[in-house]
Structure 1
Protein backbone atom coordinates (compact mmCIF):
# COMPACT_ATOMS: atom_id res chain seq x y z
CA UNK A 1 0.00 0.00 0.00
CA UNK A 2 2.85 2.33 0.86
CA UNK A 3 4.51 1.69 -2.53
CA UNK A 4 1.26 2.45 -4.34
CA UNK A 5 0.90 5.78 -2.54
CA UNK A 6 4.52 6.71 -3.27
CA UNK A 7 4.14 5.74 -6.94
CA UNK A 8 0.94 7.79 -7.26
CA UNK A 9 2.62 10.77 -5.61
CA UNK A 10 5.65 10.51 -7.93
CA UNK A 11 3.42 10.30 -11.02
CA UNK A 12 1.43 13.30 -9.84
CA UNK A 13 4.60 15.32 -9.35
CA UNK A 14 6.08 14.26 -12.71
CA UNK A 15 2.92 15.04 -14.70
CA UNK A 16 2.36 18.22 -12.70
CA UNK A 17 5.82 19.56 -13.57
CA UNK A 18 5.80 18.42 -17.19
CA UNK A 19 2.22 18.70 -18.45
CA UNK A 20 1.50 17.77 -22.03
CA UNK A 21 0.74 20.86 -24.06
CA UNK A 22 -0.71 21.00 -27.55
CA UNK A 23 1.61 22.24 -30.26
CA UNK A 24 0.74 25.46 -32.02
CA UNK A 25 0.15 25.11 -35.73
CA UNK A 26 0.42 28.19 -37.89
CA UNK A 27 -1.74 28.86 -40.93
CA UNK A 28 0.06 29.56 -44.14
CA UNK A 29 -0.25 33.26 -45.11
CA UNK A 30 -0.84 32.29 -48.74
CA UNK A 31 -3.90 30.27 -47.70
CA UNK A 32 -5.27 33.26 -45.82
CA UNK A 33 -4.78 35.48 -48.87
CA UNK A 34 -6.61 32.97 -51.08
CA UNK A 35 -9.55 32.46 -48.69
CA UNK A 36 -10.12 36.13 -47.76
CA UNK A 37 -12.35 37.01 -50.76
CA UNK A 38 -14.46 33.91 -50.14
CA UNK A 39 -14.84 34.80 -46.45
CA UNK A 40 -15.90 38.36 -47.36
CA UNK A 41 -18.60 37.03 -49.72
CA UNK A 42 -19.85 34.64 -47.03
CA UNK A 43 -19.96 37.47 -44.47
CA UNK A 44 -22.00 39.65 -46.85
CA UNK A 45 -24.50 36.83 -47.36
CA UNK A 46 -24.78 36.03 -43.63
CA UNK A 47 -24.93 39.66 -42.41
CA UNK A 48 -28.73 40.14 -42.59
CA UNK A 49 -29.35 36.92 -40.68
CA UNK A 50 -26.78 37.79 -38.02
CA UNK A 51 -28.25 41.27 -37.58
CA UNK A 52 -31.77 39.86 -37.30
CA UNK A 53 -30.58 37.39 -34.65
CA UNK A 54 -28.81 40.12 -32.68
CA UNK A 55 -31.92 42.34 -32.76
CA UNK A 56 -34.10 39.47 -31.58
CA UNK A 57 -31.63 38.61 -28.82
CA UNK A 58 -31.46 42.26 -27.77
CA UNK A 59 -35.23 42.34 -27.44
CA UNK A 60 -35.04 39.23 -25.27
CA UNK A 61 -32.45 40.88 -23.05
CA UNK A 62 -34.68 43.95 -22.70
CA UNK A 63 -37.53 41.67 -21.62
CA UNK A 64 -35.25 40.15 -18.99
CA UNK A 65 -34.30 43.64 -17.75
CA UNK A 66 -37.99 44.48 -17.42
CA UNK A 67 -38.52 41.28 -15.44
CA UNK A 68 -35.71 42.24 -13.08
CA UNK A 69 -37.37 45.59 -12.49
CA UNK A 70 -40.73 43.84 -11.91
CA UNK A 71 -39.15 41.90 -9.04
CA UNK A 72 -38.86 45.22 -7.21
CA UNK A 73 -42.67 45.40 -7.16
CA UNK A 74 -42.71 42.71 -4.46
CA UNK A 75 -41.21 44.80 -1.64
CA UNK A 76 -43.02 47.90 -2.89
CA UNK A 77 -46.34 46.03 -2.81
CA UNK A 78 -45.60 44.71 0.67
CA UNK A 79 -44.96 48.25 1.82
CA UNK A 80 -48.21 49.41 0.24
CA UNK A 81 -50.12 46.54 1.88
CA UNK A 82 -48.83 47.35 5.35
CA UNK A 83 -48.15 51.08 5.61
CA UNK A 84 -50.57 52.19 2.90
CA UNK A 85 -53.69 50.49 4.31
CA UNK A 86 -54.97 53.69 5.98
CA UNK A 87 -54.61 55.48 2.65
CA UNK A 88 -56.52 52.87 0.62
CA UNK A 89 -53.49 51.30 -1.07
CA UNK A 90 -54.16 47.69 -0.09
CA UNK A 91 -55.60 46.71 -3.48
CA UNK A 92 -52.74 48.23 -5.44
CA UNK A 93 -50.29 46.68 -3.00
CA UNK A 94 -51.73 43.20 -3.46
CA UNK A 95 -51.56 43.65 -7.23
CA UNK A 96 -47.89 44.64 -6.96
CA UNK A 97 -47.12 41.72 -4.63
CA UNK A 98 -48.63 39.28 -7.13
CA UNK A 99 -46.80 40.83 -10.08
CA UNK A 100 -43.54 40.86 -8.12
CA UNK A 101 -44.03 37.23 -7.10
CA UNK A 102 -44.58 36.13 -10.70
CA UNK A 103 -41.62 38.15 -12.05
CA UNK A 104 -38.84 35.67 -11.08
CA UNK A 105 -40.62 32.91 -12.97
CA UNK A 106 -41.01 35.16 -16.00
CA UNK A 107 -37.30 36.00 -15.73
CA UNK A 108 -36.40 32.30 -15.62
CA UNK A 109 -38.62 31.60 -18.64
CA UNK A 110 -37.12 34.47 -20.66
CA UNK A 111 -33.59 33.45 -19.72
CA UNK A 112 -34.30 29.92 -20.96
CA UNK A 113 -35.60 31.32 -24.24
CA UNK A 114 -32.72 33.77 -24.72
CA UNK A 115 -30.40 31.40 -26.66
CA UNK A 116 -33.29 30.55 -28.98
CA UNK A 117 -34.01 34.23 -29.53
CA UNK A 118 -30.45 34.81 -30.77
CA UNK A 119 -31.26 32.52 -33.70
CA UNK A 120 -33.87 35.04 -34.80
CA UNK A 121 -36.88 33.12 -33.51
CA UNK A 122 -39.45 35.51 -32.08
CA UNK A 123 -41.29 33.62 -29.33
Structure 2
Protein backbone atom coordinates (compact mmCIF):
# COMPACT_ATOMS: atom_id res chain seq x y z
CA UNK A 1 0.00 0.00 0.00
CA UNK A 2 2.76 2.42 1.00
CA UNK A 3 4.77 1.60 -2.13
CA UNK A 4 1.79 2.36 -4.38
CA UNK A 5 1.17 5.69 -2.65
CA UNK A 6 4.82 6.67 -2.96
CA UNK A 7 4.89 5.67 -6.62
CA UNK A 8 1.72 7.67 -7.31
CA UNK A 9 3.14 10.72 -5.55
CA UNK A 10 6.39 10.51 -7.53
CA UNK A 11 4.46 10.12 -10.78
CA UNK A 12 2.26 13.11 -9.94
CA UNK A 13 5.35 15.19 -9.12
CA UNK A 14 7.03 14.29 -12.40
CA UNK A 15 3.87 15.05 -14.43
CA UNK A 16 3.56 18.46 -12.72
CA UNK A 17 7.23 19.12 -13.34
CA UNK A 18 6.88 18.40 -17.05
CA UNK A 19 3.59 20.26 -17.53
CA UNK A 20 4.29 23.40 -15.50
CA UNK A 21 7.98 24.06 -16.09
CA UNK A 22 7.67 26.39 -19.08
CA UNK A 23 9.82 29.51 -19.04
CA UNK A 24 8.92 32.41 -21.28
CA UNK A 25 11.25 35.26 -22.12
CA UNK A 26 10.04 38.82 -21.74
CA UNK A 27 10.41 41.36 -24.49
CA UNK A 28 13.10 44.01 -23.71
CA UNK A 29 10.66 46.79 -24.61
CA UNK A 30 8.20 45.49 -22.03
CA UNK A 31 10.97 45.39 -19.43
CA UNK A 32 11.93 48.97 -20.26
CA UNK A 33 8.33 50.12 -19.91
CA UNK A 34 7.73 48.32 -16.61
CA UNK A 35 11.05 49.22 -14.93
CA UNK A 36 9.95 52.66 -13.63
CA UNK A 37 6.75 51.16 -12.25
CA UNK A 38 8.77 48.44 -10.49
CA UNK A 39 11.07 51.06 -8.95
CA UNK A 40 8.10 53.02 -7.60
CA UNK A 41 6.56 49.84 -6.18
CA UNK A 42 9.87 48.97 -4.51
CA UNK A 43 10.09 52.44 -2.95
CA UNK A 44 6.59 52.09 -1.54
CA UNK A 45 7.24 48.58 -0.19
CA UNK A 46 10.66 49.31 1.35
CA UNK A 47 9.48 50.35 4.86
CA UNK A 48 7.28 47.28 5.14
CA UNK A 49 10.04 44.95 4.00
CA UNK A 50 12.52 46.48 6.45
CA UNK A 51 10.02 46.20 9.32
CA UNK A 52 9.36 42.56 8.45
CA UNK A 53 13.07 41.79 8.35
CA UNK A 54 13.59 43.50 11.72
CA UNK A 55 10.74 41.57 13.33
CA UNK A 56 11.96 38.31 11.82
CA UNK A 57 15.52 38.95 12.98
CA UNK A 58 14.39 39.68 16.53
CA UNK A 59 12.26 36.55 16.48
CA UNK A 60 15.26 34.49 15.36
CA UNK A 61 17.31 35.89 18.27
CA UNK A 62 14.47 34.82 20.58
CA UNK A 63 14.59 31.37 19.00
CA UNK A 64 18.33 31.26 19.71
CA UNK A 65 17.69 31.84 23.40
CA UNK A 66 15.13 29.01 23.33
CA UNK A 67 17.74 26.80 21.72
CA UNK A 68 20.23 27.61 24.47
CA UNK A 69 17.51 26.83 27.04
CA UNK A 70 17.52 23.23 25.74
CA UNK A 71 20.91 22.76 27.39
CA UNK A 72 19.51 23.74 30.77
CA UNK A 73 17.88 20.31 31.19
CA UNK A 74 21.12 18.32 31.57
CA UNK A 75 22.61 21.17 33.59
CA UNK A 76 19.60 21.13 35.92
CA UNK A 77 19.74 17.37 36.32
CA UNK A 78 23.41 17.61 37.20
CA UNK A 79 22.76 20.40 39.69
CA UNK A 80 19.83 18.56 41.25
CA UNK A 81 21.85 15.38 41.81
CA UNK A 82 25.52 16.21 42.25
CA UNK A 83 24.96 19.74 43.52
CA UNK A 84 22.84 18.80 46.54
CA UNK A 85 25.78 19.16 48.99
CA UNK A 86 26.48 22.60 47.54
CA UNK A 87 22.86 23.80 47.97
CA UNK A 88 22.14 23.76 44.21
CA UNK A 89 19.01 21.60 44.32
CA UNK A 90 16.50 24.43 43.82
CA UNK A 91 18.53 25.88 40.93
CA UNK A 92 18.72 22.41 39.42
CA UNK A 93 14.97 21.91 39.58
CA UNK A 94 14.39 25.36 38.06
CA UNK A 95 16.86 24.66 35.23
CA UNK A 96 15.35 21.20 34.65
CA UNK A 97 11.86 22.62 34.28
CA UNK A 98 13.08 25.39 31.97
CA UNK A 99 14.98 22.83 29.88
CA UNK A 100 11.99 20.50 29.71
CA UNK A 101 9.67 23.28 28.49
CA UNK A 102 12.22 24.67 26.00
CA UNK A 103 11.43 22.26 23.10
CA UNK A 104 7.76 23.26 23.17
CA UNK A 105 8.69 26.95 23.23
CA UNK A 106 11.12 26.42 20.35
CA UNK A 107 8.43 24.60 18.36
CA UNK A 108 5.93 27.41 18.87
CA UNK A 109 8.53 30.03 17.93
CA UNK A 110 9.45 28.04 14.81
CA UNK A 111 5.81 27.88 13.74
CA UNK A 112 5.40 31.64 14.32
CA UNK A 113 8.57 32.56 12.38
CA UNK A 114 6.83 33.14 9.01
CA UNK A 115 4.35 35.45 10.71
CA UNK A 116 7.21 37.36 12.30
CA UNK A 117 8.79 37.94 8.90
CA UNK A 118 5.44 39.32 7.74
CA UNK A 119 5.61 41.82 10.60
CA UNK A 120 2.97 40.14 12.76
CA UNK A 121 4.27 39.65 16.29
CA UNK A 122 2.71 39.11 19.68
CA UNK A 123 4.63 42.13 21.00
CA UNK A 124 3.92 45.12 18.74
CA UNK A 125 6.18 48.07 19.05
TM-score (norm 2): 0.79
Aligned partner of 1:8 in structure 2 is none
RMSD: 1.9
Alignment of 1:1-123 (within 5 A): 20=18, 22-123=21-122
Q: 1:109 to 1:33 in 2, by over 3 A?
A: same
Partner of 2:26, secondary structure, is: coil
Greater Cα shift, 45-54 or 108-117? 108-117
TM-score, normalised on structure 1? 0.81
Instruction: Give the Å deviation of 1:92.
Output: 0.5
3-state DSSP class of the match of 1:121? coil
**Aligned in 2, Cα 1:30/1:98: closer, same or farther, shift over 3 Å?**
same
Over 3 Å counting, the alpha-carbon distance change for 1:24 and 1:121 in structure 2 is closer
Q: C-alpha displacement at 1:24, in angstroms?
A: 3.4
Deviates more, 1:23-32 or 1:95-104: 23-32
Unaligned runs of 5+ in 2: 1-13
CA drift at 1:29: 0.6
Distance 1:62 1:90 in 2: 30
Partner Cα distance (2:38, 2:80) in 1: 61
**Unmatched tracts of structure 1, length 5 or more:** 1-15
Deviations 1:18-62 (A, max 9, x none): x95744321101110110010000000000000001111111111
Cα 1:45/1:76, change in 2 over 3 Å: same
Give the total of aligned pairs. 107
